[in-house]
Structure 1
């Protein structure tokens, strides 16, 4: 006699998933690291080179960075303490943003505590209504977002308040022709195309130039999540240099 729990497991595929994943090493008991996580880690007292972490520059383990972090905490506290729109921006954040703007050749830079918060902040800001006064106001609740289907979970989560099929649309992964088709559906509307440079889901690289061309021709804005693309392309010694050296193409 099959129990109700067994029926549920079969329906959702949990049992099959576990049976296939355990022998392949995807599901296992927790592996405990000692000390800091970075490009070099320690497990069970043994040193390892870590190729699966995100702290690949090793800043979290750098003594100078740690000393600067602790000194900043003692001087500026553990958080910004409130909205920059009301109380102002903290001095170190202001200096950091000006430095990043100069380094990247951008007019303005806005910093967030994480990539996820940056995605949440952008998506909500671009689809919100804000009234500071009877004259200082903006209403973009009619904006339409067009996502690459393989966009990171944090982007889909940020857009969860939008109705799919109306304010939230999607195009086939890295398919510029399908993007143009979707852009044709929202012609004349406030449209924002959202995609990534390098996708964590499969490591694929977006055709950034053709996508930006499609956005420009349709009068749409673009938002690129470059969290996984940072330092991957751009210089001759890095991968995909040829693909991005010419910038957006004309078509």
Structure 2
């Protein structure tokens, strides 16, 4: 009986999501996640990948993964603290620290794991966290896990942050207070006001924490949002992913040697999860080497992003307040957003609709992710589809 009740509840919930345009269909790819992709035998212009620099399909990364797999095996075989730390892990962490302009770095299995690991290792029930209201879900979950008091401030509202920092510090209730923000906000593409955040942190003795998943490899010559603003010496924890601009999988925390030493003995995903496999680690090293020696890929990415944005704006679409390659086309209604995405699919353009709960209700959008690997002709094909569908559905 209990099993039948569960199945009925699940069916009702899924039916509700479908009727409200909130159910997300998953489309398996028949090949690599590049500027074009194949699904069910069809080829699409791909505008939904986080592969900003095209490195996921770069032959140098593929060759590095094959060589490392042959030398070290398919898996690491243990957690990092037993005997799962390979020479490759140590090399990756040294290169990440140099890349991010910090004393040290620690690698994790995913960017999500970083926020679950680092926040709860540094703050606890006697502390407070000032968190931007549009922070990523992994930050929200990491904050909850820490048991600290969570104080949300209005998105990028520095007056609100300052007032809440002052109130938290004046209360005398908290041993430590941390301020957490995304470096680049993934749904709108806007950049955090890090110079203002750093100044407020100095004034009220706050620990500073920046999740730069969408900034690393994109801003600051590739080093990220913190380097973009020249704040490498003033941000305590820099969080990054290895699965977006780097093109592979994993995440890392960069900061002082004392911080990283602490995370190696107190962050639970590091202590209780098997280490990253050798192949992906070697690919990450190759990617960092490429980004450390040239900004050619970043320049290509920005050129493609500017081209797409100009085209969409010229057609009359609302692309929000993006300051980065992330290019939302604002639709609003959830059902209309999903219809627009399906029409793009039929036209050979893969650009997923983003709706509640990923964004607030009524704020549905198509999120476009131009990359260094796209050509202008690919983007022209996408713009042509956007124009036809936008007029058909009354969006423009």
Q: Same fold (TM over 0.5)?
A: yes
Alignment equivalent of 1:117, drawn from 103, 113, 135: 113
> Per the alignment, do residues 168 and 80 of structure 1 end up closer, same or farther by CA in structure 2, a change over 3 Å counting?
farther
Q: What are the Cα deviations for residues 158-197 of structure 1, in whole angstroms up to 9, with x where unaligned? A: 222345xx62221111111111122123325311111101
Cα distance between partner residues in 2 of 1:162 and 1:231: 29
Alpha carbons of 1:30 and 1:88: their partners in 2 closer, same or farther (altered >3 Å)?
A: closer
Match of 1:170 in 2: 152
Asked if 1:157 is matched to 2:141, the reply is yes
Aligned-residue offset at 1:28: 7.2
**CA deviation vs aligned residue, 1:1-39 (integer Å, no higher than 9, x gap):** xxxxxxx9xxx9x75x64563xxxx76765442112233
Secondary structure of 1:47's aligned partner: strand
Whole-angstrom CA distance in 2 between matches of 1:230 and 1:246? 14
8 A contact 1:38–1:61 mirrored in 2: yes
Q: Which residue in 2 is equivalent to 1:183?
A: 165
Instruction: Work out whether 1:148 is the aligned partner of 2:132.
Output: yes
Mapping of 1:1-251 within 5 angstroms? 15=16, 18-19=18-19, 21=21, 30-87=26-83, 89-127=85-123, 141-163=125-147, 167-187=149-169, 189-235=175-221, 244-245=228-229
Output one character per residue of 1:130-154: Cα deviation in whole Å (capped at 9) or x when no partner.
xxxxxxxxxx552322211111111
Relative distance call for 1:116 and 1:29 in structure 2 (3 A) is: closer
What stretches of structure 1 of length at least 5 have no aligned partner? Answer: 1-7, 128-139
CA RMSD of aligned residues (A): 3.2
State the match for 2:375 in structure 1: none
Which stretch shows the higher mean deviation, 71-80 or 108-117?
A: 71-80
CA contact (8 A) 2:119 2:146 kept: no
User: Structure 1 or 2: larger helix share?
Assistant: 2
Q: What SS does the aligned partner of 2:80 have?
A: coil
Q: Conserved in 2, the CA contact under 8 Å of 1:209 and 1:247?
A: yes
Distance 2:34 2:109 in 1: 19
Cα distance in 1 for partners of 2:29, 2:180 equals 36
Determine if contact 2:131/2:150 at 8 Å carries over to the other structure: yes
- Compared with structure 1, are the counterparts of its residues 28 and 96 closer, same or farther at alpha carbon in structure 2 (3 Å cutoff)? closer
Counterpart in the other structure of 2:308: none
> More relative contact order in 1 or in 2 (CA 8 Å, sep 6+)?
2
Q: Which position in structure 1 is the counterpart of 2:370?
A: none
Q: Which runs of no fewer than 5 residues in structure 2 stay unpaired?
A: 1-8, 233-396
Distance in 1, Cα, partners of 2:133 & 2:24: 30
SS at 1:161's partner residue? helix
